[in-house]
Amino acid sequence: MDALLTGLSMALTPENLLYAVVGVLLGTAVGVLPGIGPAMTVALLLPVTYNVSPSAALIMFAGIYYGGMYGGSTTSILLNTPGESSSVITALEGNKMAKRGRAAQALATAAIGSFVAGTIGTILLVAVAPTVAEWVVVLGAPSYFALMLLALVAVTSVLGSSKLRGFSSLALGLAIGLVGTSTGQARLTFDNPLLADGIDIVVVAVAIFAVGEALWVAAHLRRRPLEIIPVGRPWMDRKDWRRSWAPWLRGTAYGFPFGALPAGGAELPTFLSYITERRLAGEHRAEFGKGAIEGVAGPEAANNASAAGTLVPLLAIGLPTTATAAVILAAMQSYGLQPGPQLFEAEPELVWTLLASLFVANTLLLVINLPLAPLWARLLRIPRPYLYAGILFFAVLGAYSVNFQRFDVLLLCLFGALGFAMRRFGLPVLPLIVGVILGPRLEEQLTQALQLSQGDVSALWSEPVAVIVYVVIAVLLLGPLVLRLIPGKQGPERLEDEVEELEEEVRS
């Protein structure tokens, strides 16, 4: 508690508060802009943080992270084409509400719900993360190796995606991670000295998220303008409050654990929250599919709580489970900080400042964004040629400012082409990024584990935690196969079908 108060006093210094405000504004603005998600935002802003202190950068990222989430929900309520998979469900009811003239209430329940869920989620994060870090700090290299494998498998085999494509993406990422001379010999460097230090993760992330996306959109640019629903200042009356508070809490209860588990992702909790609210809606049940406020309040809360939950494995174990978390991890590494249990001991001030600034960011979001909603809605009208030209502009600037080398810009273009191809062929982006980041660390942990045992492979399952983790990995990999043997559709597949049905039902 004392530590948190110290962190709070750090986060509330005028300078750091300014970074938080900048982060929240930037995060929301780019979150609202179509085609830009929170991961791309953080990636594009990485160069800006090269010369500011680590704590200032982390405070800004906290703002960007929560702001990006919030901005995404505004877009999906006011436009009927959701950008990120986690806001699909918000778009279902939120857009219907907006069409019925209740955009202000939809935005209000999303904003206040995000605040409630984000605050509770951050409290849980503060309570859970140090404890997890304490458990994890005693683990040896074999357990870390197993945990990293788990993270790789988990981000690869998430709900609703083709495993074949997931693993293809992962393998490409791991191959990119091989480049360099970390083992004493040049691997995959084409004898190019510029590749000796490996490929900068900033260049890969910016290329895959920003350049790949810009090229993909350019190839399929919607030429007719989207219908955007105008909105005034968000507000709710007493009846809306009564209908919203319980869904907020239930959504939080779904979101946080799913975010905190290494098999994270916000799709599942938002969907579970949606069907729960529909079931519990009672007299308002008929409104579902036509714009029920419960259907916005619950999933939005779940989405934000899961964002807070994601930070548990990131900070306490050093495992990224979402794209944004992966980019934040890369940013921390560029400061020489290694997220994980040691961070709590080595840099307590930094960690607690970050945690405290999450509360600050969350509050700022509510205070700043309720009045600014009409302004954000206007951002949706930005001419697309300028938007995507701007993305390319900042992507090149970001890659060039890493080393001021033309070579990095060339790499940016090549990986941008890869990012385009991945979107064309439905390869998920997340496994590649996580593979690039975790691949080298996986090798490090394996080397360490086997060095201690002098090459005896059985050391890998010498720790109980490692054994448990391998069992979990086996369940994740084999579970779907077993379920497929049982007649009828089960588990994830059934969920997937239900999501699709829902979407069709509501769209029509």
In the range 454-473, which residues lie near another protein by CB under 8 A? 454-455
Task: Give the nearest distance from C-beta 338 to another protein in angstroms.
Answer: 20
How many residues at the interface with another protein, by CB under 8 A? 73
The footprint of another protein on residues 205-224 (CB under 8 A) is 211, 213-223
Q: Which of residues 365-394 bind another protein (CB under 8 A)?
A: 383-386, 388-390, 392-393
CB of 227 to another protein, least distance (A): 12
Residue 205 to residue 208: CA distance in whole angstroms = 5
Of 78 and 236, which has the nearer Cβ to another protein? 78
* Min CB(439)–another protein separation in Å: 8
Q: Which positions from 5 to 24 touch another protein by CB under 8 A, shown as an x/- string?
A: --------------------
Beta strand residue intervals within 282-385, DSSP E: none
User: Least distance from C-beta 232 to another protein, angstroms?
Assistant: 22
Structure-block tokens of residue 277: 């609210």
Interaction of residue 187 with another protein, rule CB under 8 A: yes
Q: Which two tokens stand for residue 15?
A: 């300078």
Q: Is 286 exposed, middle or buried (0-12, 13-18, 19+ CB in 10 A)?
A: exposed
In DSSP terms, which residues pair with 180 in a beta bridge?
A: 187
- Least separation in angstroms between CB 244 and another protein: 26
Which range in 185-193, 319-327, 346-354, 361-369 contacts another protein by CB under 8 A? 185-193
Q: How far is the CB of 64 from another protein (least distance, A)?
A: 16
Q: Which of 134, 183, 497, 501 binds another protein (CB under 8 A)?
A: 183
- Asked whether the beta carbons of 69 and 31 are under 8 A apart, the reply is yes
Q: Distance between CA atoms of 230 and 317, rounded to whole angstroms?
A: 44
Q: What tokens appear for 121 in the block?
A: 């989620």
| Sequential DSSP letters for 375-440 | HHHHHTTS-HHHHHHHHHHHHHHHHHHHHS-HHHHHHHHHHHHHHHHHHHTT--SHHHHHHHHHHH
Let me know how long the chain is: 508
Nearer to another protein, 116 or 422 (CB): 422
Nearest to 84 by CA among 92, 73, 95, 94: 73
Site mask for another protein (CB under 8 A), range 125-164, x = bound: ---------------------------------------x
387-406 core/surface letters (b: 16 or more CB in 10 A; e: else): bbeebbebbbebbbebeeee
Residues 39-68 that bind another protein (CB under 8 A): 47-48, 50-52
| CA-wise closest residue to 97 among 376, 288, 300 | 288
Q: Which of 426, 478, 482, 507 binds another protein (CB under 8 A)?
A: 426
Structure tokens at 468: 């448990």
Residue 210's closest CA among 437, 413, 435? 413
By three-state DSSP, how is residue 158 classified? coil
Instruction: Assess 238 for contact with another protein (CB under 8 A).
Output: no
Question: 181 in helix, strand or coil?
Answer: coil
Report, in Å, the least distance between residue 284 CB and another protein. 29
User: Measured from the CB of residue 194, what is the shortest distance to another protein in angstroms?
Assistant: 13
Identity of the residue, 17 or 392, whose beta carbon is nearer to another protein in the bound complex: 392
Q: Which of 12, 397, 476, 483 binds another protein (CB under 8 A)?
A: 397
**Site stretch for another protein (CB under 8 A), options 107-115, 193-201, 293-301, 403-411:** 403-411
- Binding residue (CB under 8 A) for another protein from 9, 13, 131, 451: 451
Min. distance of Cβ 2 from another protein in angstroms? 34
Which of 410, 468, 471, 478 forms a contact with another protein (CB under 8 A)?
410
Contacts with another protein in 297-326 (CB under 8 A)?
Answer: none
Q: In which residue are the tokens 């064309």 written?
A: 424
Contacts of 123 (CB under 8 A, 6+ apart): none
> Considering the complex, what minimum distance in angstroms separates the CB of residue 429 from another protein?
9
Q: Which stretch binds another protein (CB under 8 A): 245-253, 272-280, 318-326, 424-432?
A: 424-432
How many alpha carbons lie under 13 Å from residue 383 in its C-beta half-sphere? 3
Say which amino acid occupies 94: G
Stretch that binds another protein, among 8-16, 169-177, 274-282, 294-302 (CB under 8 A): 169-177
- Strand ranges inside 438-504, DSSP E: none
Helix (H, G, I), strand (E, B) or coil at 180: strand
424 binds another protein (CB under 8 A): yes
Residue 3 makes contact with another protein by CB under 8 A: no
Give the nearest distance from C-beta 237 to another protein in angstroms.
30
